[in-house]
Amino acid sequence: MTIKDKIELRDKILQGLELSYKNLIEFKKQHNSELVILRDGKIVKIKAKDL
């Protein structure tokens, strides 16, 4: 695998992660549910509508 191939693969993975995140946020907003995240070492629940 060449460096160019590795960069292209990395870019595709990052695009997929961004799309998954956007879909997750949209799903949480539609179902009016909370998103659980880790902030400053603490577990925090955030309403999706506040994002």
pLDDT tens string 2-31: 999 999 999 999 999 999 999 999 999 999
Burial 15-33 (b: 16+ CB within 10 A, else e): eeeeeeeeeeeeebeeeee
- Residue 49 has a pLDDT of 79
Q: How far is Cα 5 from Cα 41, in angstroms, rounded to an integer?
A: 36
More confident residue, 21 or 49: 21
pTM: 0.75
- Residue 1 has a pLDDT of 85
Q: DSSP assignment, residue 40?
A: T
- Residue 41 has a pLDDT of 97
Q: How far is Cα 28 from Cα 43, in angstroms, rounded to an integer?
A: 17
